[in-house]
């Protein structure tokens, strides 16, 4: 059995929010551990990999993290569940696992920087090899996936489509279409507001692509052993595009499962609710970044710094950042009102289309069910490896169901890891 | 106004089996279930002959024999029932346990059950994943597994003109009348209470305690394990009446997943997974199968077994309340003993020939408060 | 900053692939089109999907343990099984 470990501050997630939190808290002298289940720190937006050119701000944060002797960074490390009783005045203990071992991690204060995941909706053929999320394809390319010379259709909704297309193009792919499901009127409103945030406006203009179409969405992905073509709706007509890859995502969903397992309440944006100092509803637990709701990297950095200062007990420095936070909150509020999903993209699945990919549950089996729990009892929807992270968000968009938060395991965990615990005296074998 | 000949409260495996057998004997049955979820949805569905005492052996043997008929029929009809005759290996960790296993084998053979002793070499051939230091095992070939929630559903669907199901929460029993939440009543000649740990809300005088158990299921690893694997200490465990204990119990699911148990805990109705007890249960499992450490668990959950002071179910007439019959308190053997419970209860209710001596299961064996 | 040019050799379902250091296992899978990682419960072949450790479509057996290919760095000598044939034998 591995010994339990303890640090003063545990930060889950090494994206912008987590890194900013660690750097803000570091001068306090707290022993800080940052964990992230990806190969490198950076989260999604600052994902590193072979051939990636990190933006200067990302490089600065990575270097600052590496420079501080009190910050221990553990990549390839995942929180799989709760870690049993904690000392009085401490944050909840967590059960961690990496490729080699599992252990209980105690901490005095906990900051959740779990980020967000893509909303992936079902449509005929979405399980074919060659179909990925939009952010998904971007992440895979950054991890070294070769797309040289491949024809790629990017579809779904949101600014992420342009960013993903840009990454693919720079990696040598031929992006033949970017299909945005929102109508241009909605996007015009968004782009008109952008000048309030000059950096974002500049970013947007560099990403614009001549293959971008609005009021356009995928109807079906086709192919035998892998993707060969996609059938698209475009306004009132349809088109079929031969392609090698389809990168399709419908916006972002905050990763709140860990917070919910800890007992944190949610806000009205389906993110973890936090106060001005990023404290959640659970004592000694803070949250920052996209897990509190979709807001962009600048807001994540600010929230992260506030959380870091607050967790270190430096309320003054935390509060000094509130005006900056308010500015980026405005951008977050704008994003929230734009890129709403049309009814059409909620109704792409046919009765045969699989909705739960882990357990191969088709739409037909779910249509008679009354809610998430009812579906779980009568089908195997949500009972597989992803614990409802894909199908839970999908059925929420399709049917309005509220997925239940996890009760014990956050992710598949090795039995060897779960066999760890605090010693107990009242059990007999 | 009579809604049926019999009302059955509880559509878990025991209630469903009772409804099924009563309907086969020509009675109309109204089955009520609040859909709270109970032991049937949480348990392993291991169909196993247990022989801690003669009554348990008689009941489980008769019932496993009935499963040999019911199981293949329901699975041919509804593959999700997944009845599989995989057999049980009772594992001996030392010579004393091996001697105990041999005695168990004698007892079983005397009762006509097919079983075979495996020495260490034969055991390693039968189940290469087990710890090599295990001394041997008793193989009981007739034991099987079934997916109980789907089996219960099948049992209720076989006589559509005789069995009616109503999703409703029963709140009160008065003779042959049952009141539902919302105030309305249902009426029959007789009421069968098959509500597991919820039985005490209708009959607080019944000595039924919830006994919490933990379970874990892995990702798919087909071909890893062939038989249901149980440590010999399981039997003692199942009959303890206090404290917290664990015993190794592993079932290979037809999906290729491994279903792992078991733990027993009194004095709690908290369904939260207890990380300490789970860890103890897993450490026990690793003693028997070290390679489990590398396998991924994808889900953990708990369930509550309805337990009586002597760990035997109550099957028969309520001692003082007219028109009320009981099929409750099956501990961890509810799925196994559901068919024989139903046959015994139906025979008592209709005055038919009794398939088993009912005395060990009579409610009268407990001195119940008036 | 340039790295020494040591190639990484990974065996996927018995086939060897070679790539530069720093690639994820998901990138390595794609070198054997269509880059599948597992077989679904109804027998469909699946490939990495979400790219960020959420969907678990890319779970593969690496040296006996299940890992997510999109979050695993290739290392020299890695042996990867994507479940093209039923497993037999012990854990």
pLDDT in tens, B60-111: 999 999 999 999 999 999 998 999 999 999 999 999 999 999 999 999 999 9
Question: Nearest-CA residue of chain A relative to B290?
Answer: A416
Q: Which of C59, C87, C90 sits opposite B222 (nearest CB)?
A: C87
The structure tokens listed for B161 are 């003109």
> CA angle at residue B215 from B33 to B127, to 5 degrees?
125
Chain A interface, mutation test: which of C45, C46, C52, most A Cβ atoms within 10 Å? C52
Q: Which of A135, A358, A390 sits opposite C51 (nearest CB)?
A: A135
Q: What is the mean pLDDT of residues A313-317?
A: 97
Share of chain A above pLDDT 70, in %: 96
Distance to chain A for C60, nearest Cα, Å: 12
Q: Which DSSP symbol is given to B361?
A: G
Longest dimension (CA), chain B: 66
At residue B242 the predicted structure's pLDDT band, cuts being 50, 70 and 90, is confident
Distance to chain B for C34, nearest Cα, Å: 23
Give whole-number Cα distances, A274 to A114, A259, A263, B221, in Å.
Answer: 14, 11, 13, 41
* B369: exposed, middle or buried (Cβ count in 10 Å: 0-12, 13-18, 19+): exposed
Q: Which of B219, B220, B291 sits opposite C91 (nearest CB)?
A: B291
Measured between beta carbons, the chain C residues lying within 8 angstroms of B295 are: 66, 91
pLDDT in tens, A85-120: 899 999 999 999 999 999 999 999 999 999 999 999
pLDDT in tens, A220-240: 999 999 999 999 999 899 999
pLDDT in tens, C65-87: 999 999 999 999 999 999 886 54
**Would the pLDDT of A425 be above 70?**
no
Measured between beta carbons, the chain A residues lying within 8 angstroms of C54 are: 117-118, 386, 389-390
At residue B243 the predicted structure's pLDDT band, cuts being 50, 70 and 90, is confident
> CA angle at residue A152 from A146 to A156, to 5 degrees?
120
Per the model's pLDDT, the better-predicted residue between B250 and A376 turns out to be B250
Measured between beta carbons, the chain C residues lying within 8 angstroms of B289 are: 91
User: How far is it, in rounded angstroms, from Cα B9 to Cα B195?
Assistant: 6
Q: A167-203 b/e with 16+ CB inside 10 Å = b?
A: bbbebebebebbbbbbeeebbeebeebbeebeebeee
Q: Which of C41, C51, C56 sits opposite A386 (nearest CB)?
A: C56
**Would the pLDDT of A347 be above 60?**
yes
Measured between beta carbons, the chain B residues lying within 8 angstroms of C85 are: none
Chains in contact with C via at least 3 Cβ–Cβ pairs below 8 Å: A, B
Contact B37 A84 (CB under 8 A): no
At residue B263 the predicted structure's pLDDT band, cuts being 50, 70 and 90, is very high
Contact C87 B224 (CB under 8 A): yes
> CA angle at residue A290 from C56 to A270, to 5 degrees?
85
Q: Which of C27, C42, C67 sits opposite A143 (nearest CB)?
A: C27
Contact B298 A412 (CB under 8 A): yes
Q: What is the mean pLDDT of residues B176-202?
A: 97
B132 and C CB contact within 8 Å: no
pLDDT at C63: 87
Give whole-number Cα distances, B207 to A184, A188, B196, in Å.
Answer: 69, 70, 12
**Would the pLDDT of B35 be above 90?**
no
Distance to chain B for C27, nearest Cα, Å: 23
Chains in contact with B via at least 3 Cβ–Cβ pairs below 8 Å: A, C
pLDDT at A330: 87
pLDDT at A205: 66
**Would the pLDDT of B320 be above 60?**
yes
Measured between beta carbons, the chain A residues lying within 8 angstroms of B288 are: none
User: How far is it, in rounded angstroms, from Cα B227 to Cα C63?
Assistant: 26
Beta strands in A229-308 (DSSP E): 229-234, 237-242, 245-249, 252-254, 285-287
Q: Which of A133, A144, A225 sits opposite C34 (nearest CB)?
A: A225
- The model carries a pTM of 0.92
Distance to chain A for C41, nearest Cα, Å: 6
Place of tokens 């357990």: A359
pLDDT at B367: 85
Share of chain A above pLDDT 90, in %: 80
Q: At what angle do helices B334-350 and B13-24 cross, to 10 degrees?
A: 40
Quote the mean pLDDT of chain A.
92
| Cβ–Cβ < 8 Å for C17, C32 | yes
Query: Among B154, B153, B163, B155, which Cα is nearest to B6's?
Result: B163
**Would the pLDDT of A1 be above 80?**
no
Chain A interface, mutation test: which of C54, C57, C83, most A Cβ atoms within 10 Å? C54
Distance to chain B for C83, nearest Cα, Å: 10
Measured between beta carbons, the chain A residues lying within 8 angstroms of B282 are: 415, 418-419
Q: Which of B275, B280, B294 sits opposite A416 (nearest CB)?
A: B294
Measured between beta carbons, the chain A residues lying within 8 angstroms of B283 are: 419
**Would the pLDDT of A427 be above 60?**
no
Contact A427 B298 (CB under 8 A): no
Measured between beta carbons, the chain C residues lying within 8 angstroms of A226 are: 33-34, 47
CA-only gyration radius of chain B, Å: 20
User: How far is it, in rounded angstroms, from Cα A248 to Cα A154?
Assistant: 6
pLDDT at A86: 93
Q: Which of A384, A385, A421 sits opposite B275 (nearest CB)?
A: A421
Q: Which residues of A touch B (CB under 8 A)?
A: 81-84, 95, 377, 383-385, 387, 407-409, 412-416, 418-422, 424, 426-429
B219 and C CB contact within 8 Å: yes
pLDDT at B240: 74
Chain C interface, mutation test: which of B125, B221, B255, B290, most C Cβ atoms within 10 Å? B221
Q: Which residues of B touch A (CB under 8 A)?
A: 37, 41, 149, 216, 218-219, 233, 243-246, 260, 272-273, 275-280, 282-286, 292-301
Residue A394 main-chain phi, psi, to 5 deg: -65, -45
C41 and B CB contact within 8 Å: yes
Q: Which of A37, A145, A386 sits opposite C30 (nearest CB)?
A: A145
Q: Which of A83, A95, A415 sits opposite B293 (nearest CB)?
A: A415
pLDDT in tens, C5-60: 689 999 999 999 999 999 999 999 999 999 999 999 999 999 999 999 999 999 99
Contact C86 B129 (CB under 8 A): no
At residue C91 the predicted structure's pLDDT band, cuts being 50, 70 and 90, is very low
Contact A143 C24 (CB under 8 A): yes
Query: Among B158, C47, C51, which Cα is nearest to A249's?
Result: C51
Contact A429 B282 (CB under 8 A): no
pLDDT in tens, A160-209: 999 999 999 999 999 999 999 998 887 777 777 777 777 776 677 666 77
Place of tokens 């597992």: C38
Q: Which of A50, A129, A390 sits opposite C34 (nearest CB)?
A: A129
Distance to chain A for B97, nearest Cα, Å: 15
Q: At what angle do helices A56-67 and A16-25 cross, to 10 degrees?
A: 40
Measured between beta carbons, the chain B residues lying within 8 angstroms of C65 are: 294
User: How far is it, in rounded angstroms, from Cα B163 to Cα B151?
Assistant: 15
Query: Among A20, A16, A15, A26, which Cα is nearest to A72's?
Result: A26
CB pairs under 8 A between B and C: 29
pLDDT in tens, B280-308: 999 999 999 999 999 999 999 999 999 99
């Amino acid at each position: 059995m591995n010994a339990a470990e303890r640090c003063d501050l545990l930060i889950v997630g090494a994206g912008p929010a987590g890194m900013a939190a660690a750097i803000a808290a570091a001068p306090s002298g707290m022993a800080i551990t940052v964990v992230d289940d990806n190969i490198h720190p950076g989260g999604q937006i600052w994902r590193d990999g072979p051939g990636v050119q990190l933006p200067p701000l990302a490089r600065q944060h990575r270097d600052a993290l590496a420079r501080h002797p009190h910050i221990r960074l553990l990549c390839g490390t995942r929180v799989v569940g709760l870690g049993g009783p904690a000392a009085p005045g401490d944050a909840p203990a967590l059960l961690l696992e990496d490729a080699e071992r599992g252990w209980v991690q105690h901490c005095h204060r906990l900051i959740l920087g779990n980020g967000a995941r893509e909303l992936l909706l079902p449509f005929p053929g979405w399980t074919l090899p060659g179909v990925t999320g939009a952010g998904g394809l971007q992440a895979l390319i950054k991890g070294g996936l070769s797309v040289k010379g491949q024809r790629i259709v990017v579809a779904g909704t949101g600014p992420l489509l342009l960013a993903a297309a840009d990454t693919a193009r720079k990696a040598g792919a031929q992006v033949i279409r970017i299909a945005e499901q929102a109508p241009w009127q909605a996007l015009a409103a968004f782009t008109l507001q952008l000048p309030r945030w000059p950096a974002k406006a500049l970013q947007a203009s560099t990403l614009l692509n001549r293959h971008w179409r609005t009021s356009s969405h995928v109807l079906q992905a086709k192919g035998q052993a892998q993707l060969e073509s996609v059938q698209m709706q475009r306004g009132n007509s349809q088109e079929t595009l031969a392609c090698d890859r389809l990168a399709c995502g419908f916006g972002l969903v905050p990763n709140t499962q860990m917070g919910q397992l800890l007992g944190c309440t949610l806000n009205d944006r389906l993110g973890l609710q936090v106060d001005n100092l990023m404290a959640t509803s659970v004592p000694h637990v803070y949250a920052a970044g996209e897990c509190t709701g979709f807001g962009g990297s600048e807001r994540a950095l600010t929230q992260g710094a506030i959380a870091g200062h607050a967790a270190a007990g430096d309320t003054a420095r935390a509060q000094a950042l509130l005006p900056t936070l308010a500015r980026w909150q405005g951008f977050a509020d704008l994003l929230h009102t734009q890129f709403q999903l049309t009814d059409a993209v909620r109704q792409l699945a046919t009765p045969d289309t699989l909705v739960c990919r882990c357990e191969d549950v088709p739409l037909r089996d779910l249509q008679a069910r009354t809610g998430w729990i009812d579906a779980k009892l009568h089908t195997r929807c949500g009972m597989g490896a992803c614990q409802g992270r894909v199908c839970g968000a999908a059925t929420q968009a399709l049917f309005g169901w509220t997925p239940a938060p996890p009760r014990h395991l956050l992710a598949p965990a090795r039995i060897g890891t779960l066999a760890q615990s605090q010693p107990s005296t009242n059990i007999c074998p | 106004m009579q809604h049926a000949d019999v009302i059955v409260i509880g559509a878990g495996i025991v209630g469903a089996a009772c409804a099924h057998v009563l309907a086969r004997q020509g009675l109309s049955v109204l089955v009520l279930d609040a859909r709270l979820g109970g032991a049937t949805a949480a348990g392993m569905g291991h169909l196993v002959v247990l022989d801690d005492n003669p009554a348990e052996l008689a009941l489980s043997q008769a019932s496993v024999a009935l499963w040999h008929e019911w199981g293949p029929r329901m699975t041919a009809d509804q593959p999700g029932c997944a009845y599989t005759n995989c057999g049980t290996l009772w594992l001996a960790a030392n010579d004393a346990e091996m001697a105990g296993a041999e005695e168990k084998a004698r007892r079983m053979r005397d009762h006509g059950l097919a079983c075979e002793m495996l020495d260490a070499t034969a055991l390693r051939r039968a189940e290469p994943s087990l710890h090599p230091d295990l001394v041997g095992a008793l193989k009981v070939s007739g034991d099987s597994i079934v997916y109980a929630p789907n089996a219960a559903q099948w049992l209720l669907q076989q006589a559509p003109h005789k069995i009616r199901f109503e999703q409703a929460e029963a709140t009160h029993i008065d003779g042959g009348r049952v009141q539902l939440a919302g105030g309305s009543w249902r009426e029959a000649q007789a009421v069968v209470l098959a509500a597991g740990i919820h039985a005490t809300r209708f009959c607080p005088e019944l000595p039924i305690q919830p006994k919490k158990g933990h379970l874990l299921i892995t990702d798919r690893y087909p071909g890893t394990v062939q038989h249901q694997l149980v440590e010999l200490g399981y039997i003692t465990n199942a009959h303890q009446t206090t404290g917290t204990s664990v015993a190794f119990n592993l079932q290979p699911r037809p999906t290729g997943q491994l279903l792992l148990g078991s733990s027993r805990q009194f004095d709690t109705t908290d369904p939260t997974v207890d990380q300490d007890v789970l860890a103890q249960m897993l450490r026990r499992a690793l003693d028997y199968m070290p390679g489990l450490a590398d396998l991924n668990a994808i889900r953990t959950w708990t369930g509550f077994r309805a337990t009586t002071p002597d760990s035997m179910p109550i099957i028969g007439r309520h001692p003082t309340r007219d028109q009320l019959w009981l099929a409750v308190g099956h501990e961890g053997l509810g799925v196994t003993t559901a068919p024989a419970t139903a046959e015994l209860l139906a025979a008592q209710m209709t005055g038919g020939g009794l398939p088993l001596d009912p005395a060990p299961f009579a409610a009268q064996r407990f001195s119940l408060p008036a | 900053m340039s790295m020494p040019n040591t190639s990484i050799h990974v065996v996927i379902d018995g086939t060897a692939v070679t790539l530069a250091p720093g690639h994820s296992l998901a990138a390595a899978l794609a070198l054997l089109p269509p880059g599948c990682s597992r077989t679904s419960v109804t027998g469909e072949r699946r490939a990495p999907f979400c790219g960020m450790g959420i969907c678990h479509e890319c779970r593969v057996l690496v040296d006996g343990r299940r890992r997510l290919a999109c979050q695993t760095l290739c290392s020299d000598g890695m042996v990867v099984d994507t479940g093209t044939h039923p497993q037999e034998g012990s854990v």
